[in-house]
């Protein structure tokens, strides 16, 4: 378990965390990955697995078509939904977490199934969750051909007491998409001097909610209904804002003919997601737009360091493209024509150790953490 600032952080381990970390959990994960890889069929067979574990999605060769596949949940953001007793947007997060990952291997998302585990099968809650899933699917241009609802009062819990008692739930999904087998993108052609285009996030998205809750609600003693002037909305509304779905702009970039080197969904581990590429690439981030106000609030109330904030949160950049300098403006314009601000936030370096130097804050990311330079 990651311990930082004395606060145990519930987090997603994905299957991505091979690497250098030596905690017991990462060790267990690494052993798990060893096992799982033994299930992969020999190269050339039906279902050949095209990528090692560690990228945002994997790709399976099905009759010459690359089927990208990924799975992810919304983590403890469900607790915010439950506390607010508002369930009609969390499905958007679930779709976002999955389709944004699919995009990162160059895939066009096609369809997804959801897995909803509930403490009690409350019909209004089920319907509201579906409303969000469908809105997410609409934004992501995918279908939801089915799903599973498991009622498990002995396994699922949530916030206890009050009107929301019994409305605990967990929400995850799995999505598939298509990518031509010769156009799977994992950043292997990144060269030093390529540029990083960062597209704005919408606040915390679906990562770091455990830290956010502890900082704001426990240490900061704020309540979700508190209207916070700098946020322009209530704290609850802010924390529940649905994760941006980057499908429209990413597909437009993928199909635009620009020399696209890599795409990254900025989830847990923040800008360290830039290192999930198949090349000895480091990054110098020399410009970042001012982080959304919610991050300042979390940092202040939780007395968090910037290293910790950047480790846990997206800090305002939810999705990145790596392209040649010549294509930078084009990608920014595509993002903006899809309603999202985008910025040239830095460039790549040749770096076997894949460090991410965040210059405006004087911190550098290595492995799974950021350090003050």
Query: Which residues are within 8 A (CB) of 210 and not within 5 positions of it... i.e. 6 or more apart?
Result: 9, 10, 11, 75, 76
- Tell me the DSSP string of 41-64: PPTTSTTEE-S-TTSSSEEEEETT
Interaction between residue 144 and its own copies (CB under 8 A):
yes
- Select 55 or 343, whichever has its Cβ closest to its own copies: 55
Q: Which stretch binds its own copies (CB under 8 A): 105-113, 196-204, 324-332, 355-363?
A: 105-113
CB atoms near residue 349 (< 10 Å): 17
- Select 60 or 328, whichever has its Cβ closest to its own copies: 60
> Smallest distance from the beta carbon of 367 to its own copies, in angstroms?
18
Cα separation, 17 vs 1, whole angstroms:
13
Q: For residue 4, what are the β-bridge partners?
A: 7
Residues 207-266 that bind its own copies (CB under 8 A): 210
> Smallest distance from the beta carbon of 301 to its own copies, in angstroms?
19
Residues 164-193 that bind its own copies (CB under 8 A): 168-170, 172, 174, 176, 178
Decide if 204 contacts 299 (C-beta within 8 A): no
Binding residue (CB under 8 A) for its own copies from 3, 22, 44, 154: 154
Give the interface size with its own copies as a residue count (CB under 8 A): 89
Cα separation, 347 vs 194, whole angstroms:
6
Decide if 243 contacts 202 (C-beta within 8 A): yes
> Smallest distance from the beta carbon of 72 to its own copies, in angstroms?
5
Binding residue (CB under 8 A) for its own copies from 22, 39, 162, 229: 39
Residue of 93, 90, 84, 125 whose CA lies nearest to 223: 84
- Select 51 or 222, whichever has its Cβ closest to its own copies: 51
- Select 68 or 199, whichever has its Cβ closest to its own copies: 68
- Select 207 or 348, whichever has its Cβ closest to its own copies: 207
- Tell me the DSSP string of 114-150: EEEEESS--HHHHHHHHHHHHHHHHHHT-EEEEEEEE
Residues 62-101 that bind its own copies (CB under 8 A): 62-63, 65, 67, 69-73, 75-76, 78-79
């Amino acid at each position: 378990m990651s311990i930082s600032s004395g606060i145990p952080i519930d987090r997603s381990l994905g299957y991505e965390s091979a690497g250098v970390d030596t905690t017991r959990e990462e060790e267990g994960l690494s052993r798990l990955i060893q096992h799982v890889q033994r299930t992969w069929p020999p190269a050339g067979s039906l279902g050949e697995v095209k990528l090692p574990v560690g990228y945002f999605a994997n790709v399976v060769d099905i009759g010459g078509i690359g089927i990208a596949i990924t799975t992810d949940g919304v983590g403890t953001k469900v607790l915010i939904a439950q506390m607010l007793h508002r369930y009609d947007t969390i499905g958007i997060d679930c779709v976002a977490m999955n389709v944004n990952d699919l995009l990162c291997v160059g895939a066009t998302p096609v369809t997804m199934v959801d897995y909803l585990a509930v403490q009690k099968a409350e019909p209004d809650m089920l319907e509201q969750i579906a409303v969000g899933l469908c809105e997410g699917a609409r934004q992501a241009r995918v279908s939801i051909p089915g799903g599973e609802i498991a009622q498990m009062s002995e396994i699922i819990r949530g916030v206890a007491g009050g009107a929301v008692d019994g409305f605990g739930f967990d929400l995850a999904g799995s999505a598939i998409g298509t990518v031509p087998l010769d156009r799977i993108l994992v950043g292997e052609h990144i060269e030093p001097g390529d540029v990083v285009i960062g597209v704005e996030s919408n606040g915390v998205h679906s990562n770091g909610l455990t830290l956010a809750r502890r900082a704001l609600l426990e240490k900061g003693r704020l309540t979700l209904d508190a209207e916070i002037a700098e946020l322009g909305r209530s704290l609850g509304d802010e924390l529940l804002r649905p994760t941006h779905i980057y499908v429209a702009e990413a597909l437009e970039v993928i199909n635009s003919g620009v020399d696209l080197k890599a795409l990254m969904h900025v989830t847990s581990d923040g800008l360290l997601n830039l290192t999930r590429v198949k090349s000895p690439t480091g990054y110098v981030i020399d410009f970042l737009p001012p982080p959304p106000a919610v991050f300042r609030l979390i940092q202040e109330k939780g007395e968090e360091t910037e290293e910790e904030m950047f480790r846990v949160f997206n800090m305002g950049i939810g999705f990145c493209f790596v392209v040649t300098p010549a294509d930078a403006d084009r990608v920014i314009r595509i993002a903006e024509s899809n309603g999202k601000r985008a910025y040239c936030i830095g460039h790549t370096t040749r770096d076997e150790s894949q460090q991410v130097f965040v210059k405006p804050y004087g911190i550098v990311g290595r492995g799974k953490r950021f350090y003050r330079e």
